[in-house]
Amino acid sequence: MCGIAGYFNIQHDQEKSLHLLERMIWPLHHRGPDGFGFFQDKRAGLAHARLSIIDLEGGWQPIHNEDKTLWIIFNGEIFNYPELRRQLISRGHRFTTHSDTEVILHLYEEKGERCLDDLNGQFAIAIYDQQKQELFLARDRMGIRPLFYSFHNGRFYFASEIKSIFSADPGIPRQINREVIQEIFTFWSPAGTETVFEDVEQLDPGCWLKIDNQGRVEQHQYWQIPFGTATQSTATEAELAEQLRELLIDSTRLRLRADVPVGAYLSGGLDSSTITSLIKHFTDNELKTFSVTFSDKVYDEQQEQQEMVDFLQTDHHSIRCTYDSIGRAFPDVIRHTETPILRTAPTPLYLLSSLVRKHDYKVVLTGEGADEILGGYDIFKEAKVRAFIAGQADSSCRPFLLKRLYPYLTLSPSKSAEYARRFFDTDASVDDIFYGHRPRWKTTSGTHLFLRDDLVENPGQTPLDKLENIWQNRLQDMDFFSRTQFLESRLLLGNYLLCSQGDRMAMAHSVEGRFPFLDHRVVEFACTIPPHLRMKALNEKNILKKSMVDLLPAGIVKRKKQPYMAPDILSFFGDNTPEYIEYYLSEQKIKESGLFKHKAVERLLTKCRKKSRQGFRENMAFVGILSTQILYDTFVDNFQVDMPEKLKNIKVVNDCVMILNREKQWLKP
């Protein structure tokens, strides 16, 4: 696991600039604190910050092929690399390391971009063909690892994080993309490949990009989540459960491959409990687990966590999150997310990864992805209930069905049948491609009243228009349940959870998260489960529960899902309101960013000071506004890169590669 960055000179060569690569890689040192590596010629430059997990001594990057015509930098892991390496050796390839990185390079040498089909992993890859003078970038199927890029003054820049691109050249504009702000305040994430910063895009999950020596850009999608296109299985529930279990056992085993200890997150829910149980029962890995507890009992799952710890006898460690600890850490969280967020949920995970690192662990397995691919979210229940009600208009069960939703929420929209009716009423038919998401987006769009009028009264396309243009053809032939799962997987999982909560919060403390549920074989299998069996009636993750019934306590299997959440407004008002609130939300700073109505923000602040437990809209609006203001101040108003002395006046090994490890010794890769 690492950080990567680099540039490609379009249509012309320029003088080598090692200092440029230094400026780009240093902001990523949290992703790779174990050392730095560089390659450059007059056309391209590659930089790498290493978190050593595989082949600790030999896996330094950049890595080249036998004749030094191909150079690679790589962020992530290829879990099936030993098998691929043996195949490549049998076909005559010669290796100089035992790393998974070199496996990718030899596969690319043999198959070109088709090598991606062979990889089981989570990755962002950059390969420079020095002979052809072309650059190849690729991102894993589910978008677990980030990869951003931008064009400026005849150069193409790319990096694991946007701050690296901004560090490359002070002339690169750092401006907020106002359309994307509106999208985030609707969907929680950008609708497409654009980021919150103008002219900075991300490579889509399951895509590759190539730039040739004439500056021509080619993009291609090599994989897509096959909801709606996969042939539905005719197997029985028991057979499906057994198949899923076997896949998850293998996926978990693969993700334990490392030359360092591997731990696991344990939330007390079904997903993380599944992974820890599989580790315990089907591997000989030492099981050390980590979890978050909350001082606010509304969010706390300590009892369930302890039940699993006792059941599996794990070596367990936890960190307790209070309102104060969340409020204190929030600005640092936004510096790492590099995007506005509408809930504080990433913050406890940021604190949790610091606990993992304090125990000298670099790798943890987590349960992300199970809800999206196996039918676990309440939004899927909502869609089923609404579809039933629409087809059974005279049914006396309607109020009772609504009241079965969200029993864990203090302020549930289904507590009152009339309120629930208004909450879920969207006038959308089941054939509407956004049927499952309309109620949620309607609620989130309530935050638009805080946006400046010129943001929401844009004569161009609305966020929903844009989303429809992107996904209309892909979604129109799916059943409503699969459509809802697909959108949740691409928007919430891909653009929010895996980025803001997954990669960024773990890598902020140099910890790599691995996700057994997001093995592409597991995802492809999940798409073959008939929709009525993914969620049987209102029983979420039906097949997963059946697959784990003999490996988990009955209370964990039967427990109704409680989504991971954290206190929002409560974390910022009370006895210890952070001093930065007055700074970021002052009239001056609100006017400087030019994104929000100051009077509306001031009214919200007044409400929060009087009563810090507010409703959905107020919580989302407050966190969204605050995170956007922090983002603007950090990356637009006051962005700077403080280069340490140890990366100045360095020398180059072999005229092209330099690596500095933690002992400050020069090493050859």
pLDDT at residue 669 greater than cutoff 50: no
Residue 461: predicted pLDDT: 82
Contact in structure between 171 and 153 (CB atoms under 8 Å): yes
Q: What's the confidence (pLDDT) of residue 232?
A: 95
Interval 39-50 mean pLDDT: 94
Average pLDDT over residues 570-594: 94
- What DSSP letter does each residue of 63-88 carry, written as one string? EE-TTS-EEEEEEEEETTHHHHHHHH
> DSSP string of 348-405?
HHHHHHHHHHHTT--EEE--TTHHHHHT--HHHHHHHHHHHHHH-TT-TTHHHHHHTS
Q: Is residue 482 predicted with pLDDT exceeding 70? A: yes
Q: Find tokens 């315990």 and name the residue.
A: 280
**Range in 238-252, 265-279, 386-400, 558-572 the model is least confident about:** 386-400
Ordered strands of the 207-211 beta sheet: 63-64, 70-78, 121-129, 134-139, 207-211, 217-221
pLDDT tens profile 207-225: 999 999 999 999 999 999 9
Per the model's pLDDT, the better-predicted residue between 627 and 388 turns out to be 627
- Model confidence over 430-448: pLDDT tens digits? 889 999 999 999 999 999 9
Q: What pLDDT, in 10s, does the model give residues 262-288?
A: 999 999 999 999 999 999 999 999 999
**Comparing 145-154, 340-349, 379-388, 410-419, which segment has the lowest mean pLDDT?**
410-419
Local confidence band at 646 (pLDDT 50, 70, 90 cut-offs) = low
- 397 assigned to active site: no
Kindly name the residue from 2, 321, 499, 527 that is annotated as catalytic: 2
Distance CA(115)–CA(61), nearest Å, equals 20
**Position 665 pLDDT exceeds 50:** no
Partnered with residue 293 across adjacent β-strands are 320
Q: Is a pLDDT exceeding 50 seen at residue 668? A: no
Domains of the chain: 2-181+199-224+647-661 (3.60.20.10), 237-374+487-558 (3.40.50.620), 571-637 (no CATH)
Q: Is the pLDDT of residue 529 over 90?
A: yes
What pLDDT, on the 0 to 100 scale, is given for residue 424? 57
The arithmetic mean of pLDDT across residues 119-134, rounded, is: 97
Q: Is the model's pLDDT at 652 over the cut of 70?
A: no
Give mean pLDDT, residues 398-411.
59
Q: What is the mean pLDDT of residues 558-571?
A: 88
pLDDT of residue 412: 53
Phi-psi region of 518 (alpha: psi -120 to 50; beta: other; left: phi over 0): alpha
Q: How confident is the model at residue 390 (pLDDT cuts 50, 70, 90)?
A: confident
Per-residue b or e along 578-601, where b marks 16 or more CB atoms closer than 10 Å to that residue's CB: bebbeebbeeebbeebebbbbebb
657: pLDDT strictly greater than 60: no
Residue 485, both tokens: 């799962």
- Is residue 137 within 8 Å of 208, Cβ to Cβ? yes
**Span 4-12, mean pLDDT?**
91
- Give 477 or 589, the one with higher predicted confidence: 589
Average pLDDT, the chain: 91
pLDDT at 414: 52
| Res. 638: pLDDT tops 60 | yes
